[in-house]
Amino acid sequence: MRARRLAARWLIPVEGPPIEHGALLIESDGRVQAVGPDSTVPRPSDVVAEDFGDAVILPGLINTHTHLELTGFEGRIRAREFPAWIRQLRELKTTRAPAEYVEAARRGLAACYAGGVTTIADTGDSGAALQVLAEAGGSGVAYLEVFGPHPAQAAESLAGLRERVKCLRGWSGNRVGIGVSPHAPYTVSGPLFRAVAAWSRAESLPLAVHMAESPAETEFLANGSGPFAEAWEARGIPLPRPSGLSPVGWLAEHGVLTELTLCIHAVQLGRADIDRLADSGAAVAHCPRSNQAHRHGAAPLAALLQAGIRVGIGTDSEVSVGRLDLLAEARAARRLAGLTADALIEICTLGGARALGLASATGSLRIGKWGDCVVIAVKKAAERRSPAELVLASSPADVLLTCLGGRDVYRAL
Ligand SMILES: [Zn+2]
């Protein structure tokens, strides 16, 4: 890659205030070499320079939760109630061959880049996202899903997961990490949670879990009743004993919550749960539009942030939310938590990097970090608004350029 220099009317470094007439110099090794006011950033004569005019340069967005392999399934599930929705998704997934999953993940990754996203945390069971991220020289974490509601399946499911991780590990490296994802408390038995958590801890593998998502999940774990209990009974699966615990309490009992854990959704939380999450060091992937679409309720985003929990924003899959749009998620998060535009841009960038343990490498435009950035066109008429407000008001169609480590991964025609 050749060194390059980008300039625009505004630059939001995230660490530090927005810079009017800002510029960014990215070295040939893909790292940020200089960032600041245009007049102070060097202009080496042999470096390609681009000025985007009325636009904002900001760090590449970080999507802390999606399912790239489900790309193309938008609008394919009719069920409204969540347990039935989950069942239909499981059936839908059996209709695709492995190569089709890879193709779907490839299209999903291209759509992420076109929307200004540079780092992706993906969960899936096909391994397609890991392969696609690696082939594209991408950035992110691919969590391999494991399912297994019957307690008698636990040893076999863990063995299968270990084998898949062993086979797919070759795709990880550079900027792509591999992790594991025991899917959710209503698809994974207590013994399997305990076994996967212990093994992933021993291997220092990151773990992601869909948790505290629906009221039905809370009822299932606390009382052993409700629609998930009925679904298990219908399949002849023995129910877990009513624990009287919340999802956070139940997962903590099974050793699942550590600094390497990413809690996806985290909607059904009481005060004690938030404190417990904060003490565990686990991070949260907040998916406001998915939570809304499934009518799960509103996550206590402001309280999570106040408790010092690392929170990033996730879109979830296009089956839940349609077209992936991280800034639409940020606008939904704003309605929930009343955050400032600057705080929202931070959650979508540095916050996501922190949640994934990648903040030393990406998430802000700082010397030495990767040159991951997005350039977004803004309308002249809106000049009196802050650059963060201009970015929040934009859509994927306004993205002019997405750079990953200084390399173009998307450029508008
Ligand atoms: Zn999900």
Model confidence at 384, in pLDDT bands (50, 70, 90)?
Answer: confident
Long-range (24+ apart) CB contacts under 8 A made by 233-242 are 235/149, 237/149, 237/150, 238/150, 238/151, 240/189, 240/190
Alpha carbons 34 and 41: distance in angstroms, whole number? 6
Residue with tokens 């062993």, as numbered in its chain:
166
Residue 267 CA to ligand 1 center (angstroms) comes to 13
Q: What is the mean pLDDT of the chain?
A: 95
Alpha carbons 34 and 26: distance in angstroms, whole number? 7
Residue 210 CA to ligand 1 center (angstroms) comes to 6
Residue 66 CA to ligand 1 center (angstroms) comes to 6
Residue 383 reports pLDDT greater than 70: no
Residue 265 CA to ligand 1 center (angstroms) comes to 8
Tokens standing for residue 362 = 């990406």
Residue 26 CA to ligand 1 center (angstroms) comes to 34
**DSSP letters spanning 332-356:** HHHHHH---HHHHHHIIIIIHHHHT
Q: What pLDDT score was predicted for residue 88?
A: 87
Lowest mean pLDDT among 23-27, 185-189, 219-223, 378-382: 378-382
Residue with tokens 């922190």, as numbered in its chain:
354
Percent of the chain predicted with pLDDT > 70: 99
Residue 347 reports pLDDT greater than 90: yes
Residue 325 region, left (φ>0) first, then alpha (ψ -120 to 50), else beta? beta
Alpha carbons 63 and 315: distance in angstroms, whole number? 7
Residue 8 CA to ligand 1 center (angstroms) comes to 36
Q: What is the pTM (predicted TM-score) of this model?
A: 0.96
Model confidence at 320, in pLDDT bands (50, 70, 90)?
Answer: confident
Residue 141 CA to ligand 1 center (angstroms) comes to 14
Tokens standing for residue 367 = 């010397």
Residue 13 CA to ligand 1 center (angstroms) comes to 30
Q: How many CA atoms lie within 13 A of 61 on its CB side?
A: 32
Residue 202 CA to ligand 1 center (angstroms) comes to 25
Residue 317 CA to ligand 1 center (angstroms) comes to 6
Model confidence at 45, in pLDDT bands (50, 70, 90)?
Answer: very high
Residue 212 CA to ligand 1 center (angstroms) comes to 12
Residue 73 CA to ligand 1 center (angstroms) comes to 14
| 178 in Cβ contact with 172 (< 8 Å) | yes
Residue 318 reports pLDDT greater than 90: no
Tokens standing for residue 77 = 């599930």
Residue 369 CA to ligand 1 center (angstroms) comes to 29
Alpha carbons 134 and 114: distance in angstroms, whole number? 18
> Residue 271 has what DSSP assignment?
H
| 199 in Cβ contact with 163 (< 8 Å) | no
Tens digits of residue pLDDT in 204-242:
999 999 999 999 999 999 999 999 999 999 999 999 889
| 310 in Cβ contact with 350 (< 8 Å) | no
